[in-house]
Structure 1
Amino acid sequence: MGALCAVIAIISVAVPFAAGLALLGTVPTGLLAYRYRLRVLLAATVAAGVIAFLIAGLGGFMTVVHCVYIGGLTGVIKRRRKGTPTVIVSSLIAGLAFGAANVGALMVMTRLRHLIFEVMTSNVNGIATFLTRVHMQGTAGDLKRYFAVAVHYWQFLVLIYYCVGIMIVSLIGWWALSRLLERMRGIPDVHKLDAWAGSDSERGAVGPVPVRFDKVRFRYPGARQDALREVSLELHAGEHVAVTGPNGSGKTTLMLILAGREPTSGTVQRPGAVGLGKLGGTAVVLQHPESQVLGTRVADDVVWGLPPGTRIDVERLLGEVGLDGLAERETGSLSGGELQRLALAAAMAREPALLIADEVTTMVDQQGREALLGVLSGLTKRHRTALVHITHYNNEAESAERTIDLSDSPDNAGMVETAVAPARTGTVHHGSQAPVLELVGVGHEYGIGTPWAKTALRDVSFAVEQGDGVLIHGGNGSGKSTLAWIMAGLTVPTSGACLMDGQPTHEQVGAVALSFQAARLQLMRPRVDLEVASAAGFSPRDHDRVAAALGVVGLDPTLAKRRIDQLSGGQMRRVVLAGLLARSPRALILDEPLAGLDAASQRGLLRLLEDLRRERGLTVVVISHDFVGLEDLCPRTLHLHNGTLEPLESTSAAAGGMA
């Protein structure tokens, strides 16, 4: 948010006649002040101010300050449910403060003050001369006399100027920004934990386990049904528990309640406070480690946020999670599996009494998955901590002492299985027609020409024909996602060419559809019908087309009016596909389409894609480190290793998979 504010400030300063754009910079700062504590706004201010000053100088810095003032004032007043009178009083106080600061500065910097007054005097004299020439000598004389009086009492002039100016700007900002914040009032921040409501003495008594749930339920604000249906359970110190269940069964909601969120009904009994992130409290490791890694060095990240004076054996912790000798490595150079293990080490540095691991192996290849499972399975034996492991994988659930199944019925309780990777298969020929996609010697290097340049792909060549189904398999860091973006035309390769009908794909963006790893990041509208219509390029008022698009991917048309955040993971992926397929793309690329889905959701999605490929001749390319169940959808398999395609006779011994 700070960077966004800085960019807007820089544009408003650097581009001629663009000063009015600075008002847009109040939006990110207003949102921060409305949703979070003041220290979050201060952190964003420092970040934005430094960026703007380095690029646009003092003008950019002052624009950021103005944006922070207006956005912060509006956000805080709106959060406290105050109105225009509060804005007027606050702006008067701010105007007096700014004015007094400027008066003090001008009294000290006398040469600057004289220079400013000389410039103003020259301007006034010029206006007076013009008035004299048009026979308005009396007005010209009055202008000079009043200006001389104002300069004599310049301190009061500056104070009045800042008070009036800041009040006007504050009211304009309030009028424009408060409407946006009002619209956000009804949008729940579902992943934000509320402050623990204990007394001051109880806050210091950290004790998250043993914990007992008695008929606990949870329903998000505005939802029509419970996200977590009634559950009663007990978790003891040092216990290893697996939590399983289909998408939408409430596994993540259960994690939030364990981490401190108050349930809608029922009781949660603990001996003390949750202590989220505190020593001896509760630690959470999430599915996407990038959101939890903050330090630039591995060793820095392990101790990030710990109280001063805390002694941690960083090398021992890194060795325990399989990161021996990587203490000095930059976190930006780590693979997905290594980042996940680093997040686990940082959590263990807090010596938590309760550790919650939420789908931590979903985005990791089989080698990294096995390494993480090895760490987690022996964790309770090496540390005095209770482990709650949320997972879809059968072998991970079996390593726990007991399993809590949130499934409603045995039909939904299917677990994800593992299998051996298929061997690479050769080209399937469909005739003499030209291929839909053709990659010729494609290579790509990030940061080319810089000291931190990194090669992602080398000399990749293959063709995809109409109606083909191709699985591109590889581990984390093998270059799969880079290859997907090149094939979709969103990235231009640094060498070679990716062609569709003989023309570069980056000149035909949209002809090849790409479904991202994280479906939620691809959904930009608040409601299903708005999202599908926006992605497909037609009006959301065309209800028949929206219903038809949803029907193609097996979704009930009644979901059209549902909010995106009320969908399960499988439904989100189908909504993404509905919008993409409604554009009638020449080919569809799916990047890790099965990640985070339970067994039933995986089977349903694969069955849908198989039908589309068979009945509509859809060309499908799947990028994945998993392969169970993909045999019918993708008869061809290509193995990507360290940015290159393995030879045809090579086979992979890695295991992994989704069902």
Structure 2
Amino acid sequence: MTDYIPAAERRPQRSLLPAELAHAAVTGALCAACAVIAVVVPFAQGVSLLGMVPMGLLAYRYRVRVLIAAAFAGAAIAFLVAGLGGFMTVLNCAYIGGLTGIVKRKRRGTPTVIAASAVAGVVAGVFAVAALAVLSRLRELIFATITVNAEGTARFLEAMASAVAALDTKASDAVAAAIRAPAEPLRNLVGGALDYWPALLGGYAVIAIMGVSLIGWLLLSRVLERLRGIPDVHKLETPPPGTPGPVPVRMRDVRFRYPGADHDALAPISLDIEAGENVAITGANGSGKTTLMLILAGRDPSSGVIQRPGAVALGEAGGTAVVLQHPETQVLGTRVADDVVWGLPPGRTVDIDGLLGEVGLAGMGERSTGGLSGGELQRLAFAGALARDPQLLIADEVTSMVDQAGRDSLMDLLSGLGSRGEISVVQITHYSGEAEAADRIINLSESLDNTTMVEIASAPTDVPAAPAPTAAATVLECRDLSHTYAAGTPWAKPALRDINFSVQAGDGVLVHGGNGSGKSTLAWIMAGLTTPTSGQCLVDGLPAAQQCGQVAVAFQAARLQLMRPRVDQEVASAAGFSADDTDRVAEALATVGLDASLARRRIDQLSGGQMRRVVLAGLLARRPRVLILDEPLAGVDALNQRKLLRLLEGLRRDTGLTVIVISHDFVGLETLCPRILHLSDGVLSATPTTAGGRA
């Protein structure tokens, strides 16, 4: 057994890790985009300053070689699009951002910047002088250009002086003399300066680079200073090299507290996970399930002892593989087949088609990852994890975005991992059936209420539903609605076809369907965020896109909807009031079962279920006419699921709020959504049903 090694004592790997390479690629592309805009668009040179920010952040959080990779990638892209101007702009952003980020990371200040920029200026000056000394023809051309410009300016001044003198007035001679005076000194200055061009060019390089560096430091350091207190919560440290051996793992009194937090995210815990064991981790939102996952995957705990027979080997063959709660954060390839093998060493043989078939994505190897639904992304992340043949597989609520058929297939796959060898499985879940299938259940909740698990319900049988009541006014209506992604191109993909239905004020409708059936596309169209290819979606008789604010939508991926750094700022921004109104913020949070103490917490310190409730708090405080919820219960524990459903039922009953739920689950939604519309392959079922299965 070997004790875990703190990050400060680990020897870093020489080559770039897949995660570092991904960050370098994305940052380089972002900086290149800023450079291209600055060069191509007239009067947009100031945009180049924005390119310093991603480069500074990269240097602040990662190794210098990651910054170098991003700089070369971005410079290559900018050169191909915008020529030498774009190339130099990216290199300038990389230098200024990199210098600022490195100095900030090492906790140094302005004197370090001055010294470093002076050295950089001397190096640049020596290089420029040496280059012009060797390239004599280029030097002569540059000097001739400077001389001609100076001579042209002098002659222009002399011509103006002659014109003024020709006016023959009292003051004309004096004015003409004043205008003519700089002409000859300008000729002499330029001629003399060119005789000492090495000193002039070298001094200019030093002064220019030091000036630009200090300006960049003053601007960018304030940004990084504000980011210093923001922990990269889900960042995993570079794993120590060594033979993979993540299990069995022994944890003794291990706890974790995020920087700046006033309490532990994971209370002291002691547990053992044996080779080949299937362990379920359960508990309420915020109980530390995801934090425990991060520690098992290599994150350093705040205190305690962790023992393993070898290295964690996160993402390596035979090591630890993780499927995260939000799969969109770990999909890097543009093609499904490429993403499965992303980060694996060259030459490793992987049965891509077989893996995709195992997780329910058979035949989708050539599909673009950008067109996958949330459930399909989750299956893809699962396939990428299995491609590593891990000894330890950590699944963080991998079924939360998957329909019932997909959930069953993934659970069968997890249960059958024993046939692949002694693979230890740690599964974080809220579903009772999934937890009970494990060899052992570890509950992180202290309250008895939090031990309640989420049940799974089957889809109701299709029977004709009673006609919708006509007393209430129609608030939302879809007429012959169809939508095709990439319409008119060889990559066109139909998502919805001939959708017709209406929703009355105060109605509750559940749109049910499997992964990839078009549910999320329909939600975006109803919210006015996407314009359908054909047909109409009307809100109060007007196109949904023109009814901004009347329809509120909670996205399937809650984290992508949270744009502010803190909870109180996010809720206030979504609701339309000031974050300083603490009473209204606390009231909005209490509505969705969150304590007022979370108001000052950073968004990235929340669990997935807490993020989903923060989104809902802001939307409900805005009081929209229609509320669309895309998979609203995914990642939320059973107790808070019941609270949210009761809240929404009361709002629908008492205030006339119209609720449309997009989900593949049915449990608990019978009262909230008495009407059900079944969606399959982009087509609505001909016979809508009621949740209770009665007409």
Q: Same fold (TM over 0.5)?
A: yes
SS of 2:402's equivalent? coil
Change (3 A) 1:158 1:135: same
1:10/1:52 contact within 8 Å kept: yes
Structure 1 residue identity aligned to 2:556: Q
Quote the sequence identity (%).
Answer: 66
Structure 2 residue identity aligned to 1:386: S
Question: Is 1:73 equivalent to 2:99 in the alignment?
Answer: yes
Q: Which has the larger radius of gyration?
A: 2
Residue deviations 1:284-343 (CA, integer Å, cap 9, x gap) = 122333333333444443433233444445555455545556555554565555543443
**For this pair of structures, how many residues does the alignment match?**
647
Q: Which moved more, 1:635-644 or 1:12-21?
A: 12-21
Structure-1 residue corresponding to 2:311: 273
Structure 2 residue identity aligned to 1:148: G
Q: 1:238 offset after TM fit, Å?
A: 1.6
Q: 1:630 offset after TM fit, Å?
A: 0.6
Q: d(CA) in 1 for partners of 2:643 and 2:653?
A: 15
Equivalent of residue 605 in structure 1, options 636, 644, 669: 644
Change (3 A) 1:147 1:334: same
SS of 1:274's equivalent? coil
Q: 1:131 offset after TM fit, Å?
A: 4.3
Equivalent of residue 592 in structure 1, options 612, 615, 631: 631
Equivalent of residue 247 in structure 1, options 269, 280, 285: 285
Q: Moved runs in structure 1, 4+ residues, more than 6 A?
A: 649-652
Question: Is 1:352 equivalent to 2:386 in the alignment?
Answer: no
Q: d(CA) in 2 for partners of 1:190 and 1:584?
A: 32
Question: Is 1:151 equivalent to 2:207 in the alignment?
Answer: no
Q: d(CA) in 2 for partners of 1:310 and 1:557?
A: 51
Equivalent of residue 184 in structure 2, options 123, 133, 141: 141
Question: Is 1:32 equivalent to 2:58 in the alignment?
Answer: yes
Change (3 A) 1:574 1:96: same
Structure-1 residue corresponding to 2:459: 421
Q: d(CA) in 2 for partners of 1:513 and 1:329?
A: 31
SS of 1:16's equivalent? coil
Question: Is 1:502 equivalent to 2:535 in the alignment?
Answer: no
RMSD over aligned CA atoms reads: 2.6
Structure-1 residue corresponding to 2:619: 580
TM-score by length of 1: 0.91
Alignment of 1:216-235 (within 5 A): 216-235=254-273
SS of 1:61's equivalent? helix
Residue deviations 1:591-615 (CA, integer Å, cap 9, x gap) = 1101111211211111111111111
Structure-2 residue corresponding to 1:170: 213
Structure-2 residue corresponding to 1:285: 323
Question: Is 1:446 equivalent to 2:485 in the alignment?
Answer: yes
Structure-2 residue corresponding to 1:56: 82
Change (3 A) 1:21 1:266: same
Equivalent of residue 460 in structure 1, options 499, 506, 530: 499
Structure 1 residue identity aligned to 2:405: Q
Change (3 A) 1:643 1:311: closer
SS of 2:633's equivalent? coil
Change (3 A) 1:141 1:258: same
SS of 1:582's equivalent? helix
SS of 2:474's equivalent? coil
Structure-1 residue corresponding to 2:578: 539
Structure-2 residue corresponding to 1:656: none
Residue deviations 1:322-372 (CA, integer Å, cap 9, x gap) = 555655555456555554344333323333221211111111111221121
Structure 2 residue identity aligned to 1:135: A
Alignment of 1:616-635 (within 5 A): 616-635=655-674
Change (3 A) 1:266 1:364: same
Structure-1 residue corresponding to 2:170: none
Structure-2 residue corresponding to 1:655: none
Equivalent of residue 378 in structure 1, options 386, 405, 416: 416
Q: Which moved more, 1:385-394 or 1:50-59?
A: 50-59
Q: d(CA) in 2 for partners of 1:108 and 1:450?
A: 53
Q: d(CA) in 1 for partners of 2:42 and 2:211?
A: 24
Q: 1:27 offset after TM fit, Å?
A: 1.2
Change (3 A) 1:59 1:320: same
Q: d(CA) in 1 for partners of 2:403 and 2:598?
A: 33
TM-score by length of 2: 0.87
Residue deviations 1:472-521 (CA, integer Å, cap 9, x gap) = 11111111111111111111111111111211111122221111122232
SS of 1:209's equivalent? coil
Structure 1 residue identity aligned to 2:490: P
Q: d(CA) in 2 for partners of 1:244 and 1:278?
A: 27
Q: d(CA) in 2 for partners of 1:489 and 1:5?
A: 31
Equivalent of residue 11 in structure 1, options 8, 28, 37: 37
Structure 1 residue identity aligned to 2:92: H
Structure 2 residue identity aligned to 1:500: V
Residue deviations 1:233-270 (CA, integer Å, cap 9, x gap) = 11111222221222111111111111112222221111
Structure-2 residue corresponding to 1:84: 110
Q: d(CA) in 2 for partners of 1:404 and 1:557?
A: 29
2:35/2:90 contact within 8 Å kept: yes
